[in-house]
């Protein structure tokens, strides 16, 4: 080296090396942990699983193939079958839509009472947040099964379970939305002597409503899936029908229900993306 190096170059290099080493070490540690988790998980699965992994892979296409073969055997008579299950599908969607609406309203109330910029009392905030945590964390299935046991077979347990879960899940998102909203409009309204309700109505709500609706639509999509699953344990709708058909081994009908479900979910997926884009895409 002909040119004189800056005095601290050596130090810089040492630091760089230290940093690189540290990064490599933490990445390797992370990868090691992941591999450990993977292998121990696989061991647990191999021990707990009834059938072997290899045979499962080999058998994977058997069931779908049976379903399709059954369907092809029916020929054109198949389509009336598909139409036959539409009322069940409507029940499922009805459960989802109704409980999402009720859950939405509850979530707005929870969110208002757990937002730091609207409520001064810390106890109230903590309690509401804890309450939402609990309602959100219970799988809907567990709530629904308990209520099914208590009330007998009907759609009501599904409605109750999905409403409870939706209230907690949306409430958390709504709280974040309210806490992140602009404080200036609230100050402006305070300066003209607005009451607490007026402040919420005219400064918070206009800011967060598009976001709320967007989250609500997303939730509706999730809830249609949930209500199908709850049907599976006896809450009515297409899920219950599907469970029965699988028991009876009516391949063609099973496939019909599956088609209806997949079609609905994909349609809702696109529809909700479109609505949400309309709601918040323009503003941002």
Partner 1 sequence: MSSSLAIERDNIRKLFPDTFNQARKSRIKGQIIFFLILIYLIIGFFTLDVVDIPKKWKPQNAAMFVLDTYAHKDHVTMKWENPDDIKIAFEGNYRSVYGRDNLDKSIPEWFYKNSDNIGNVIEFNNEGKAILYKDRVEIVNFPKYDRDFTIKLNTNGKPYVVGSEDLAKDDLKGFRITENRVEFRPTLHERVQVYPKKVEIHRYSIGWKYFWFDFSSPLEPYSFFEALGLTFSKERVVPEMSNLKLFLTEIKDNEAFMHGRVWWAMLETIVMAVLGTMFATVMALPLSFLAAYNVTPIKALRFTLRRLFDTLRGIDFLIWSLIFLRAFGPGPFTGIFAIGFTDTGTLGKLYSEAIENTEKKQQEGVQSTGASKFLQHRFGIIPQILPIFVSQSLYYLESNTRGAVIIGAMGAGGIGLQFLGALGTGNDFENVAYMAILVLAVVIFMDRLSAWLRRILIGSDQLIVR
**What residue ranges bind partner 1 (CB under 8 A)?**
34, 37-38, 41-42, 44-45, 48-51, 53, 56-57, 59-60, 62-64, 94-95, 97-98, 101-102, 133-134, 137-142, 145-146, 149-152, 154-156, 159, 176, 225, 228-229, 232-233, 239, 246, 258, 261-262, 265-266, 269
CB of 85 to partner 1, least distance (A): 14
User: Alpha-carbon distance 150 to 145, whole Å?
Assistant: 9
Q: CB nearer to partner 1: give 14 or 37.
A: 37
Structure tokens at 225: 């899936």
- Work out how close the CB of 248 gets to partner 1 at its nearest, in angstroms, rounded to a whole number: 14
Q: How many CB atoms lie within 10 A of CB 65?
A: 11
User: Closest CB to partner 1 among 11 and 278?
Assistant: 278
Distance of closest approach, residue 108 Cβ to partner 1, in angstroms: 13
Tell me whether residue 11 or residue 149 sits nearer to partner 1 (CB atom).
Answer: 149
Q: Which is nearer to partner 1, 62 or 197 (CB)?
A: 62
Min separation Cβ 4 and partner 1, Å: 27
With respect to partner 1, which residue has the nearer C-beta, 125 or 145?
145
């Amino acid at each position: 080296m002909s040119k004189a190096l800056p005095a601290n170059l050596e130090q810089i290099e040492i630091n760089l090396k230290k940093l690189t080493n540290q990064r490599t070490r933490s990445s390797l540690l992370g990868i090691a942990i992941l591999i450990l988790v993977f292998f121990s998980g696989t061991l647990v699965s191999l021990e707990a699983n009834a059938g072997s992994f290899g045979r499962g892979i080999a058998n994977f296409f058997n069931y779908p193939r049976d379903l399709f073969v059954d369907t092809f055997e029916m020929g054109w008579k198949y389509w009336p079958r598909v139409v036959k299950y539409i009322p069940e599908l409507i029940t499922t969607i009805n459960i989802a839509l109704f409980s999402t609406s009720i859950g939405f309203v509850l979530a707005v109330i929870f969110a208002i009472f757990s937002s730091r910029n609207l409520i001064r009392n810390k106890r109230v905030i903590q309690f509401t947040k804890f309450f939402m945590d609990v309602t959100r964390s219970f799988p809907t299935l567990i709530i629904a099964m308990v209520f099914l046991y208590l009330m007998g077979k009907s759609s009501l347990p599904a409605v109750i379970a999905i409403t409870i879960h939706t209230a907690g899940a949306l409430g958390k998102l709504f709280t974040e939305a309210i806490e992140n909203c602009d404080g200036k409009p609230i100050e402006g309204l305070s300066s003209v002597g607005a009451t607490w309700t007026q402040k919420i109505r005219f400064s918070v709500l206009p800011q967060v409503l598009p976001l709320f609706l967007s989250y609500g639509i997303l939730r509706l999509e999730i809830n249609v899936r949930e209500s199908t699953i709850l049907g599976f344990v006896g809450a009515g709708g297409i899920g219950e029908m599907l469970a029965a058909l699988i028991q009876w081994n009516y391949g063609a009908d099973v496939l019909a229900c599956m088609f209806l479900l997949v079609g609905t979910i994909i349609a809702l997926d696109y529809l909700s993306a479109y609505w949400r884009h309309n709601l918040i895409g323009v503003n941002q």
